[in-house]
Chain A
């Protein structure tokens, strides 16, 4: 049963606690009490209202993490206007974007292109509005089924799908996460992933409600900011923690002890690390746990929000945790994970090609994730891979590729590994080399080690070393750092299909 709405409480009540927001980056840092942030957001809401923004309107934000992003988000909530967060670098602030997603205003930090409609505004002007005296706003409150924001799926192809999130789903996730982690005054949650991702903005709502601090920075600055602000909680995708692990390992090799090396990078106050969005390597998770930085992996899609999470009270290695109180995990006969929510994010996409909603959203608040998994007797969920990552060999044997790919990554010889089956029973891996010159000998040794640890049908016949590491910029990783299987196949098809190409297994 839902009780008080957290969203409604944080917009209606000026915080009376000591929580603060820090916005930091290379060369700048600004700290502001959350009570002041609330005042400034009300001032921005007043200005937006004067500019004609009303309940039900939609405000787009296409900008890197910054104070104005936060102010706009809160101001929009106060006006019952929707936000639409666009990931920087992935969209152009032009008439097409405004039209396609029905935006009433679009604020951006990139130069406004010539010919853009007057509804496209530089986000810097929000700073001016924030300095005004905050007006008294009407007592607008969100109904549980009303949608506070539109989020966009970082799909591998085509136009991003839009998904509106209900106020009840936001409340439910905030309440469930608070129930297992108990964030409190003294905590400082570090946010560096884009604020266009709703889950990152949850930490702002959490700070306003429960009185902890929040620090917002950018992906580019995070390693410089962490030791300076000394957060207690850091949320990052596995690739971020992989990089941190390699750095700390380098320091250990220099003779620095592990707690000092970890503190140099993360500061000395870490309570726990949060990861999700993409599969995490067990070796990486173990590394941080053993270094005294507990790290908790979870699971969820845009369409379900957070569904399961390991946490200090219930943690099992190799799993992505148990279902949150408002969620239920169902495994179908096909082995595919389904998530049922008491308060669904939504029951359909807002912008998507025909058939997409039906494929994902089922009756009764159920979402079919497309991931394969199982539950253990205690309710911990284990993800095996994507249902569409299943390769059926010509001999009828089924190979779930992800465990094999993970095994290859875990050797440390490659940064990423994606498997294909171009002919009969021959598995071919395309690997993304780690930074620096390609070490063919290390990859050959890793191939032999992976095959020695694999079942006969899982053995890799050949390895194609990619010409350059997979990156977001070259289109081979999603913004969540997941390899884009189809594009990698398109890029390396000739070599995958040529049996003479690559490093051959013995």
Chain B
């Protein structure tokens, strides 16, 4: 059973950031690109890793969904319904 989606998302984002910040220091409302410097390649790597950790199928999301995930909060909101379905 994966940990809660918020914690997982913070951990996975911290992993793709170069300086590996403390996951709890990441702000759910900050822009992933402008604040955290996430490139488009790293963004999909982050989502891939997070889906794997959360046991959510990556096929649940489209490129448009990915484009709409601007903040960590957006990512958490997008994954939560799928993670909840898994119970």
* CA–CA, A25 and B40, complex, Å: 14
Partner of A28, one of B21, B62, B66: B62
Least CB distance from A316 to B in Å reads: 29
Q: Please give the distance in Å from B70's CB to the nearest CB on chain A.
A: 14
CB-CB under 8 A from B60, the residues of chain A are 27
**Are A224 and B62 closer than 8 Å at their CB atoms?**
no
Interchain CB contact under 8 A, B41 and A222:
yes
Which A residue sits closest to B59, measured CB to CB?
A27
Q: Does B71 contact A (CB under 8 A)?
A: no
B40 with A220: CB separation less than 8 A:
yes
B27 beta carbon closer than 8 Å to chain A: no
Instruction: Point out the residues of chain A lying under 8 angstroms from B38, CB to CB.
Output: 435
Contact of A436 among B21, B44, B47 (CB under 8 A): B21
Nearest A residue (CB) for B45:
A223
Known contacts A27-B65, A28-B62, A218-B63: A436-B18 contact under CB 8 Å: yes
Q: In the complex, what's the smallest C-beta–C-beta distance from B6 to chain A, in angstroms?
A: 20
* Cross-chain contact B65 with A223 (CB below 8 angstroms): no
Q: Give the distance to chain A from B37, nearest Cβ to Cβ, in Å.
A: 3
Q: Mark B44-65, 1 if CB is under 8 A from A, else 0.
A: 1101100000000011111101
Interface bracket on B: 20 to 34
Chain B: minimal CB distance from A8 (Å): 36
Whether the Cβ atoms of A222 and B44 lie closer than 8 Å is yes
The complex places the Cα of A220 from the Cα of B62 at a distance, in Å, of 10
In the complex, chain A residues whose CB is within 8 Å of the CB of B59: 26-27
Residues in chain B near residue A162, CB distance under 8 A:
none
The interface residues of chain B, by DSSP majority, are classed as helix
**Contact B16 A247, beta carbon cutoff 8 Å:** yes
CB distance from B35 to the nearest CB of A (A): 9
The answer to the question of A181 belonging to the interface, with a C-beta cut-off of 8 Å to chain B, is: no
A247 and B12 alpha carbons, distance in the complex (Å): 11
With both chains docked as a complex, state the minimum distance between the C-beta of A225 and any C-beta of chain B, in angstroms: 9
A242 to chain B: closest residue by CB? B41
CB pair A243–B39 under 8 Å, yes or no, is yes
Q: Which residue of B lies closest to A413 (CB)?
A: B18
Given known contacts A246-B18, A247-B45, is B39 in contact with A26 (CB within 8 Å)?
no
Contacts of B7 in A (CB 8 A): none
Alpha-carbon separation in the docked complex, A115 to B73 (Å) = 40
Mask of B16-41 contacts with A, CB within 8 angstroms, 1/0: 11110100000000000000111111
B58 CB to closest chain A CB, in angstroms?
5
Most chain-A CB neighbours within 10 Å: which of B15, B40, B67? Answer: B40
Nearest A-chain residue to B32, judged by Cβ: A435
Type the 1/0 row for A220-264, where 1 means its CB is closer than 8 Å to any CB of B. 111110011000000000001001001100100010000000000
Is A370 an interface residue, CB under 8 A from the partner? no
Chain B residues lying within 8 Å of A300, measured Cβ to Cβ, are none
Most buried by B among A218, A254, A437: A437
Q: Is the CB of B61 within 8 A of A26?
A: yes
Q: Are the CB atoms of B37 and A436 closer together than 8 Å?
A: yes
A439 touches B19 (CB 8 A): yes
Q: State the CA gap A137–B65 with chains docked (Å).
A: 41
- Find the residue from B41, B45, B58, B66 having the highest chain A CB count within 10 A: B41
Report how far A313 CA is from B9 CA in the complex, Å: 45
| Chain A positions within 8 Å of B61 at CB level | 26-27
With beta carbons under 8 angstroms apart, the residue of A221, A250, A469 that contacts B44 is A221
| Interface flag for A492 (CB, 8 Å) | no
Report Cα–Cα, A13/B82, bound state, in Å.
Answer: 47
Contact A221 B37 (CB under 8 A): no
- What residues on B are CB-neighbors of A224 within 8 Å? 44, 47-48, 58
Contacts A/B (CB < 8 Å), 12 sampled: A26-B61, A26-B65, A220-B44, A221-B63, A227-B48, A243-B41, A243-B45, A433-B37, A436-B19, A437-B19, A439-B19, A469-B37
Interfacial residues, chain B to chain A (CB-CB below 8 A): 15-19, 21, 36-42, 44-45, 47-48, 58-63, 65-67
The 3 closest A-B pairs by CB, nearest first: A435-B37, A27-B62, A436-B17
